[in-house]
């Protein structure tokens, strides 16, 4: 048999095997993460490592936000994090202001547009963000009927919107209020301190005929934050079917004095098992837990819920009694791997700590093992820390987790000296060092490790790809009574009240006088993990910082990144995410950069890929992220090989 034929047969058999193991191998992109399990994998094979250098821009679409929205609002609260889906013959995505837009997949021409008219003065705590929309087909309705195919979206003002997938018209049967057809209020369980304290930022999950959504809740404002309930709605009517609150009871069976533990990242769905996988976050407030003794129930956990009932099948907690804001920021990835000679259906969860937990999908038991290890103690007055935390035996941590005294970085001697002098006065005992009035180093910082971009998985090679950030925060507690005085004299710093707690908190990036991170470079990396062995395959510096100093920074120091990777059948990894406004393609076997495109704005979004009429496209939203300081824009750009 010729070599080419053998290669083709190998890929064919591997693809068939993966399909039998419940892996979605469509060359389209029907869900936020490519498939309901979030693998971010596309089987289209037209673009290869050999020809990727020939990719050119095929089309570009601009949403118009840069000219239609107030400039001051864009500078402070704009984040273009969307990933389009390919459904009903159109590419469909949402803007940060929750407009839904449908485009022609071949040309990028506008097909329809829907605007829910959210309030621009609501001050959403996590910026104006919409990561994606969802698609559902009503199997009981004629194809020609209005809303037989629907697009669903959660909004920054906590509504669920349903529109017809072909026209963008509101679905009149969704929601019980005749004055507001096509929408359901999915808001908080208590009065908000301001309209933007509670929002929905990730695409709702479609599980059969249910629509399931989490929420995003402002951090560090108050002990009694809104509940982080996950809610399931009937996809036809919008009627609430069930609700799951991760913080219903403490270890003694008493109501927990906290809120949040919400699922702000995307959820995942196992169609065969009819299980929903929820990544929950930290309870409120983030950095002091004196009012919530114990391990906080289902907070900071991967929770497997039965889709029909919302009942817990199993859960696995990644952080006990979280006082570090080390919530689960990313979609759980459903995958199949070969372990000890057998195929295992697993769920992989990347975390802000830099750990990846790989759990059996049926039981929640760690595939590679996890052990409880002692962690630093001596928390603030009134704190009751967990004496141990879970550490996976494999894979190893994807980022450094301790900043040693004297290891501070600086561009020149006085810069380095200033970093180390400050480090000498802070607690820095490694991962899980408790917040303190003295000031504590959090390394990795609260943005990760990994963040909402999550991971991508190649089901044939069984390789996971994760982009990670390697920065540090300084967390300083202070008596709650000092909040107003501190805020009055320092309005630019992140100073939060933690109302109802003994302490307020100040959070600062650990930066040098010259404005560079005090943690050693590289500050960003792309990591490949071989999930057959649980070992790191390669770890490469990712991106560069934009020029921000009078001197040129050395190449190879890396960049913080927000957004996720995409992998293709042919062994390519596509990633934007970095602060240098570049879109790159990598070789999945080596991590070598094979192609780079300059974007008109930051690519703080997860790319997607699809095949349309015989041509493969790779697409990314290039709009930047105000909080990250990247260049802002409003473009969606598709790349393809020359026709």
Q: Write the pLDDT tens digit of every residue in 339-360.
A: 999 999 999 999 999 999 999 9
Residue 254's pLDDT is 67
pLDDT in tens, 292-314: 989 999 999 999 999 999 999 99
Confidence band for 21, pLDDT divided at 50, 70 and 90: very low
Residue carrying the six token digits 């869900």: 31
Give the residue among 232, 228, 272 at the shortest CA–CA distance from 246.
Answer: 228
Single out the catalytic residue among 300, 325, 327, 415. 325
Kindly state the percentage of the chain with pLDDT values over 90: 89
Residue 18's pLDDT is 40
CA angle at residue 504 from 502 to 510, to 5 degrees? Answer: 135
What's the pTM?
Answer: 0.94
Confidence band for 197, pLDDT divided at 50, 70 and 90: very high
Residue 480's pLDDT is 97
pLDDT in tens, 539-588: 999 999 876 554 555 567 999 999 999 999 999 999 999 999 999 999 99
Kindly state the percentage of the chain with pLDDT values over 70: 93
Positive or negative: CA dihedral 480, 486, 488, 491 = negative
Nearest 5°: phi and psi at 16? Answer: -65, -40
**What is the SS3 assignment for 380?**
coil
Residue 109's pLDDT is 98
- Which one-letter DSSP state was computed for residue 5? H
26: pLDDT strictly greater than 90:
no
pLDDT in tens, 317-326: 999 999 999 9
E-assigned strand segments in 18-72:
41-42, 56-62
Residue 212's pLDDT is 98
Residue 39 and residue 456 in contact, taking contact as beta carbons nearer than 8 Å: yes
Residue 623 and residue 601 in contact, taking contact as beta carbons nearer than 8 Å: yes
Residue 240's pLDDT is 98
CB atoms closer than 10 angstroms to residue 444: 29
Residue 14's pLDDT is 40
For the chain, what is the mean pLDDT?
A: 93
Mean predicted confidence (pLDDT) in 406-427: 95
16: pLDDT strictly greater than 60:
no
What is the per-residue burial (b if ≥16 Cβ within 10 Å, else e) of 596-609? ebebbbbbbbbbbb
**What is the SS3 assignment for 156?**
coil
Residue 250 falls in the annotated catalytic set: no
Structure tokens at 502: 């003994």
Pairing of strands 41-42, 566-568: parallel
Nearest 5°: phi and psi at 86? Answer: -110, 105
- Which one-letter DSSP state was computed for residue 515? S
pLDDT in tens, 96-154: 999 999 999 999 999 999 999 999 999 998 899 999 999 999 999 999 999 999 999 99
Mean predicted confidence (pLDDT) in 177-181: 91
């Amino acid at each position: 048999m010729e070599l080419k034929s053998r290669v083709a047969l190998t890929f064919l058999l591997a693809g068939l095997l993966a399909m039998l193991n419940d892996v979605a191998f469509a060359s389209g992109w029907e869900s936020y993460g490519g498939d309901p399990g979030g693998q971010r994998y596309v089987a289209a094979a037209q673009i290869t490592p050999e020809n990727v250098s020939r990719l050119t821009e095929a089309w570009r679409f601009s949403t118009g936000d840069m000219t239609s929205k107030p400039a001051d609002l864009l500078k402070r609260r704009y984040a273009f994090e969307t990933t389009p889906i390919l459904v009903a013959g159109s590419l469909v995505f949402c803007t940060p202001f929750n407009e839904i837009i449908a485009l022609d997949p071949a040309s990028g021409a506008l097909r329809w547009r829907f605007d829910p008219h959210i309030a621009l003065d609501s001050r959403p705590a996590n910026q104006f963000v919409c990561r994606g929309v969802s698609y559902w087909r009503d199997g009981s309705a004629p194809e020609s009927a209005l809303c037989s195919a629907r697009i669903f979206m959660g909004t920054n003002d906590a509504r669920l919107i349903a529109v017809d997938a072909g026209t963008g018209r509101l679905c009149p049967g969704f929601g019980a209020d005749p004055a507001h057809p096509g929408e359901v209020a999915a808001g908080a369980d208590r009065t908000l301190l301001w309209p933007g304290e509670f929002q929905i930022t990730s695409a709702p999950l479609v599980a059969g005929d249910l629509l399931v959504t989490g929420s995003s809740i402002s951090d560090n404002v108050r002990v009694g934050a809104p509940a982080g309930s996950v809610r399931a709605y009937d996809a036809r009517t919008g009627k609430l079917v069930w609700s799951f609150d991760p913080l219903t009871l403490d270890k003694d069976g008493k109501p927990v004095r906290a809120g949040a533990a919400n699922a702000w990242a995307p959820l995942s769905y196992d169609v065969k098992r009819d299980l929903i996988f929820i990544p929950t976050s930290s309870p409120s407030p983030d950095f002091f837990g004196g009012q919530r003794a114990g391990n906080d129930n289902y907070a900071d956990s991967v929770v497997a819920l039965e889709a029909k009932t919302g009942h817990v099948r199993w859960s696995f907690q990644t952080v006990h009694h979280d006082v570090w804001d080390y919530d689960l920021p990313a979609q759980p990835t459903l995958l199949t791997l070969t372990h000890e000679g057998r195929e295992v259906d697993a769920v992989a969860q990347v975390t802000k700590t830099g750990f990846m937990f790989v759990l059996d999908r049926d039981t929640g038991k760690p595939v590679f093992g996890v052990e409880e290890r002692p962690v630093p103690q001596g928390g603030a007055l009134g704190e009751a820390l967990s004496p141990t935390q879970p550490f996976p035996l494999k894979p190893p941590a994807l980022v450094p987790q301790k900043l040693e005294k004297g290891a501070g970085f600086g561009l020149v001697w006085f810069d380095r000296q200033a970093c180390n002098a400050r480090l000498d006065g802070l607690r820095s005992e490694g991962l899980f060092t408790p917040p303190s009035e003295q000031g504590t180093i959090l390394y990795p910082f609260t943005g990760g490790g990994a963040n909402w971009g999550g991971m991508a998985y190649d089901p044939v090679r069984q390789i996971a790809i994760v982009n990670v950030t390697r920065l540090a925060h300084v967390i300083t507690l202070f008596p709650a009574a000092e909040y107003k005085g501190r805020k009055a004299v320092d309005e630019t710093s992140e100073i939060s009240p933690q109302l109802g707690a003994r302490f307020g908190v100040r959070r600062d990036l650990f930066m040098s006088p010259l404005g560079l991170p005090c943690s050693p470079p590289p500050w960003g990396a792309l990591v490949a993990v071989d999930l057959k062995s649980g070992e790191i395959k390669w770890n490469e510096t990712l991106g560069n910082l934009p020029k921000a100093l009078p001197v040129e920074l050395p190449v190879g120091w890396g960049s913080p990144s927000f957004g996720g990777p995409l992998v293709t059948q042919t062994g390519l990894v596509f990633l934007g995410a970095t602060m240098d406004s570049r879109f790159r393609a990598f070789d999945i076997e080596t991590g070598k950069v094979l192609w780079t495109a300059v974007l008109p704005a930051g690519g703080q979004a997860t790319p997607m890929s699809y095949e349309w009429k015989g041509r493969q496209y790779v697409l990314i939203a290039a709009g930047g992220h105000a909080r990250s300081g990247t260049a802002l824009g409003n473009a969606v750009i598709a790349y393809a090989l020359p026709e």
